[in-house]
Amino acid sequence: MHNKPVALVTGANQGIGLQIAKDLVTHGFTVLVGSRNLERGKAAAKEAGPEARAIQLDVTDENSIVAAAKRIRSELGRLDVLVNNAAISNTRLQPGMSVEEYSKTTRPSVVSLGEMRAVFETNVFGVVAVTQAMLPLLREAPAARIVNVSSGVGSLTRNSDPAYPWRSIFGPVYPASKTALNAMTLAMAIELESTGIKVNAACPGYTKTSLNNYTGTQTVEEGAREPVRLALLGPDGPTGTFSNQDGPLPW
């Protein structure tokens, strides 16, 4: 078995995922940089540090997920942290279209079901599929952690408040996919609470990445802070929570 703790970060070839990988390397992990495109993953792993390795992983492809789990088992023999970071915000946002304009095309009355399915496939079903595949390894770890990278725009409590500034863009595509991810986080935490595996959801905040066409106001270093904190939780840390770097968030 590999003598250092091992972390897998999905969607880690760029943005917040890459920064999470860099940070976990500095905390003594061997980090597997999950990427749909292996060459991009290799370039990101070089950037992440000497203890980073690229692994081909498309969270919407069952064969890719199975192959990744087998490779981790055979090459490293352990997995201590899983960060489910891979996500997409849309498939139809046109260049020059604002988030507000796009959100009008995704109201429940007019939303494309194909658009919904595509986003949920990555942001919800992909997370469940990867977690299921990696759980046998995580169960063998002495103190495994699962971090699901979510978003505050998925908070039902916040969006039910008329004063919430992002309420107007709440809809059935990206925001609802993060609501569903929060539900999966809680379901996983409840199932695994007797095992010592802690499962939590992190909101990185409005971070400048390709997900939002680089319109975010935070740096990737700031965006990675809460997911990394949850990945490093000690034995007294919580499970089944939703938080950002300022503290707990309402579901």
- Start-to-end CA span in the chain (Å): 38
Helices 174-192 + 113-120 axis angle, to 10: 40
Contact criterion met (CB below 8 Å) for 29 and 4: yes
Name the active-site residue from 22, 42, 102, 174.
Answer: 174
Concerning whether 164 is annotated as a catalytic residue, the answer is no
C-alpha torsion sign, points 98, 40, 151, 68: positive
Q: How far is CA 212 from CA 43, 237, 242, in A?
A: 22, 31, 21
Concerning whether 206 is annotated as a catalytic residue, the answer is no
Alpha helices in the chain (DSSP H): 15-26, 38-48, 62-75, 99-104, 113-120, 126-140, 156-159, 174-192, 220-231
Name the active-site residue from 22, 42, 178, 198.
Answer: 178
State the catalytic residues: 174, 178
